Structure 1
Amino acid sequence: MSTAASRPASDRETMDLEQKTPPLAVIVMGVSGCGKSSVGERLAAQNGMPFLEGDQLHPAENVEKMAQGISLTDDDRLPWLDRIGAEIRTAQEASQGLVISCSALKRHYRDRLRQAATGRLVFVFLEGSRELLLSRMQARQGHFMPASLLDSQLETLEPPTGEAGVVTVAIDNALDDIVALACKGLSGITIKGGDYRAG
C-alpha cells in the first residue's frame, strides 16, 4: 500500500475526508481503461489518504486468465473481492481512511464490499464510451488486461444507478477535472451523512 502525500491546506476544492468518523473508504470503480488507478491515486493524495491498487490483490490464477484474454467468472472474482473487503475493514478498524481501485462491476459485488466495511463506504463510478475506453486500453503498456476483454467487462457491468453513496463522473475530462468532480460529489455525500454500508 502506498502512502499518499498530505493535501495543501490552501486547497479549498478538496473535501476533508480523513477527518470524518467513522473513517471513510472510497472505491474508484468502472471497467478496465476508465482510469481507476490514476484517479484513485490523485484522489487519495489530495485528501491525505492511502491508496491501494485493487488489481494487486488478484490471485495469480486470475491474472493469468486475464492475460490470456479469458474473462473472469463470479467464482474467480469473489475471493478477490473478499481480499479487498478485508483491506477496507482493516483500515477502518485502525481508524484510517482508504482509497482503493476496484472494478466492482456488479451490484452484488458492491454489496459484498459494503458488507465487509465496518465504516462508511462510497463509490466513485468512472463512466465513458466504449470508443474512449478502448483507445485508452490500446494506448497503455505493461498491463495484464488486454483490450479484447473490454466488451466482456461492459457486458458484465451493472451501473450503480440509484445506489446510495455513489458519485458518477464522466471520463471525457482532464484528470484534474475528473478528480475535482469526484471530490465535489463526495463532499455532498459526506455533508449528508449516513451509513453507506447498505445500498
Structure 2
Amino acid sequence: MKALFLSCTLKPSPEPSNTEALARVVAADLEDRGVAVEHVRLADLNVPPGVVTDLGGDDEWPGVHERLLDAQILVVVSPTWLGRPSSIAQRMLERMDAMLTEKRSDGTPVAYNRVAGVVVTGNEDGAHHVISEINGALADIGYTIPGQAWTYWNQGPGPGAEYPQTEHGHEWSHGTGRLMAHNLHAVASALAAHPVPAPTV
C-alpha cells in the first residue's frame, strides 16, 4: 500500500514547513503499518492553473497525477491563511478536477477506492474550515473520506508561536494524527478487499 503526502505550503524547499512537520507524525504511523510513504511539495514544481491533467510544455502536474494514481492513500498538507486553505491547495484541487471524468478500463472513476485526509496548521483559527473545504472537494472527485481522517494544530486567536516553536497542543495533535493514520489505513485496506464497483448508471 502506498500513501502520497501532497504539501501545499507556500514555502519552496529547503525552507522548513510547519505543516509538514505535523504531517510527518501521520506519515511515521503509516510507515509503522507497512505503508510506503512519498512526500511531494507542490511549491517546488511548476504547476500552472488549469482544470486538465496535462497542459503540455513544462507543466509538472502530470507527474503528480501519476503519483496520485499510484497511491491508495492521499494526505493533503495545507497551512491556514486568512482562515482558508493555501492558494496552492486550491490550485491542486482545480488540477484534480480532471479526475472527475477519468476512468479505469472497467469504467470505475480513477479516484474510487482511494482514501484521503488532511493535515492543517496555523497560528490562527480556521482549521476546521480548511479541513471541510479540502475534504469536501476530494469527496466530489471520488475519494473516500474516513471518519476522523484529519489532524490540525493552531496556537489560538491572534499571532503567536508557530508549531515547531512550542509544545502547546502537540499531544492532542499527535494523538489525533495517529488516529487519522489508523483510520486511513483501515478504510484503504477494506476498500482493497471489497472495492466499490464501477457505476452502472
Instruction: Give the TM-score taking structure 2 as reference length.
Output: 0.44
Report which of the two has the higher share of helix. 1
Report which of the two has the higher share of strand. 2
Instruction: Give the TM-score taking structure 1 as reference length.
Output: 0.44
